[in-house]
Amino acid sequence: MFSSYFTKAASCRTCSLQWRRGDVGFELGAAAMAAIITLGPLLLVLLALVIVTWPEIEVVPLFVVLGIGAVLLPFVAYPRAYLMWQAIDIVMRPVEPTDFVLDAEPERSGDEDVRPRDA
């Protein structure tokens, strides 16, 4: 459903399922999923670093490691968060025929001859 790493297509190129299926707050769920994917590993790393360095916790290296993770993880998690939220949304609200783009042309594999035939 992505045309590039940060660009979503309007619908799935294979089945024509739309991203937004009549729901105004779809991005909010995807943002919550991205927060979970980002904060979960950061909290686990924080816990591991505190346990390893206990009782003399070095704060500066802790902030450096967590800061790098806090900057990089959202970029890594972006497309996965949208796809995971789409899957959860499909489970919560099953797909209906109106959720598909009717006039979408299916993606070609590149093997078909696309030249017009002579009559």
Instruction: Answer yes or no: is pLDDT of 113 > 60.
Output: no
- In terms of average pLDDT, the best of 5-9, 28-32, 37-41, 78-82 is 37-41
Q: Is 73 exposed, middle or buried (0-12, 13-18, 19+ CB in 10 A)?
A: middle
* pLDDT of 39: 93
pLDDT digits (tens, 9 = 90+) for 65-112: 999 999 999 888 888 888 898 889 889 888 888 888 876 455 554 544
Percentage with pLDDT > 70 across the chain = 85
* pLDDT of 69: 92
* Mean pLDDT score, 24-43: 87
Strand pairing partners for 11?
A: 18
* pLDDT of 107: 52
Using alpha carbons, select from 74, 62, 5 the residue that is nearest to residue 38.
74
Instruction: Answer yes or no: is pLDDT of 116 > 80.
Output: no
